[in-house]
Amino acid sequence: MIGSGMIGQFTVDVSYIYKMNKDHELYRSYIALTDPTDETGAINGYLKVTIAILGPGDKPPVHDPAAKLKSKDDNGTNKLFAPGRMKQKGHITKINIYRAEHLAPLDLLENTIDPYVKIGFAGKKAESKTIDNNRNPVFN
């Protein structure tokens, strides 16, 4: 809620999540929030969630957060979960990274850093080129 207005809602049958995988969970995924009164089905916002459905005798899945940080496979961090009935339109998102200023040096002996930018959303990823030895890089 923002003030007195709702951003949107998300509805899914718990049996659907229970049957998704052996852990019966939707793990670190973005869900699409929609306004149920909007006939276009437009997405109004996103929320990153973990939902686990446990039945009799089920044990909750255990995830090692440190292992996920080290892994290049984000295991759902950038996935978008939207119900099939939702109408989705393709859009182009353009992100411009111009520069960074006063970055902390990671090489303390030489007082430098080799910066680059990584971005990801809804399963798409991009990475800039690395700019060597520059604490105030300018990305094109």
For 44-59, write each residue's pLDDT tens digit: 888 888 888 888 888 8
What is the pTM (predicted TM-score) of this model? 0.50
Residue in the structure block whose two tokens are 């998300």 = 10
Q: CB–CB of 122/82 below 8 Å?
A: no
pLDDT for residue 133 = 92
pLDDT for residue 2 = 47
| Neighbouring residues of 19: CB distance < 8 A, sequence distance ≥ 6 | none
In this prediction, the residues of the chain whose per-residue pLDDT falls under 50 are: 1-2, 75-77
Identify any residues that bridge with 47 across adjacent strands, giving them in sequence order: 31
DSSP 65-112: HHHHHH-S--TTTT-EE--TTS------------B--SPPPSBTTTTB
Q: CB–CB of 47/29 below 8 Å?
A: no
Identify any residues that bridge with 29 across adjacent strands, giving them in sequence order: 49
pLDDT for residue 84 = 58
- The three-class DSSP label of residue 120 is strand
pLDDT for residue 75 = 47
Q: Kindly state the DSSP code that residue 4 receives in the 8-state scheme.
A: T
Query: How crowded is residue 108: how many other Cβ atoms within 10 Å of its Cβ?
Result: 8
pLDDT for residue 14 = 84
Cα–Cα distance measured from residue 6 to residue 27, given in angstroms and rounded to the nearest whole number: 24
